[in-house]
Amino acid sequence: MYMEEFKKLKVWLKAHKLVLEVYKITKDFPKDELYCLVSQMRRAAISVVANIVEGSKRVSNKDRLHFHVMANASLEELKYYFLLSYELKYINKEKGEELTNQAREVGRMLTGLSKSIKNNNA
């Protein structure tokens, strides 16, 4: 097993755990959602982590911040899918709130990392 630099980021770890949780819950979704909601949720969750990883390898702070914005946008999309999943009764209220809170925490961590980058740039 290799250790990449991005794995040292706490926000990466938190976002990665969210991806694993999304995969876990969507296994039980109706089969007719496989190419719709399941696919979209997984894609959005992966996009969060992928943007964190890609941003971590960018040289300029402007580029890093751009990928943080993209990760946050995917988080917002994912939070909507949690709401939709609850309203369609694919997940219960507690699970929806738990996942939404995890996504919010990732968002707060990303915002903190972005502020740190901006402050180091000043």
Write the CATH number for 95.
1.20.1440.60
Closest by Cα among 39, 98, 101, 110 to 73 = 110
Nearest-angstrom CA–CA distance, 43 and 71: 12
pTM of this structure: 0.91
What pLDDT score was predicted for residue 20?
A: 99
Asked if 93 and 86 count as a contact pair (C-beta separation under 8 A), the reply is yes
20, part of any domain:
yes
122, part of any domain:
no
Band (23; pLDDT cuts 50, 70, 90): very high
- Number of domains, the chain: 1
25, part of any domain:
yes
2, part of any domain:
no
Asked if 97 and 86 count as a contact pair (C-beta separation under 8 A), the reply is no
Nearest-angstrom CA–CA distance, 102 and 53: 18
Poorest-pLDDT segment among 4-13, 39-48, 65-74:
4-13
Asked if 93 and 8 count as a contact pair (C-beta separation under 8 A), the reply is no
Is residue 85 classed exposed, middle or buried when 0-12, 13-18 and 19+ CB atoms within 10 A define those classes? Answer: buried
Domain that holds residue 49: 7-117
- Per-residue pLDDT tens over the stretch 57-104: 998 999 999 999 999 999 999 999 999 999 999 999 999 999 999 999
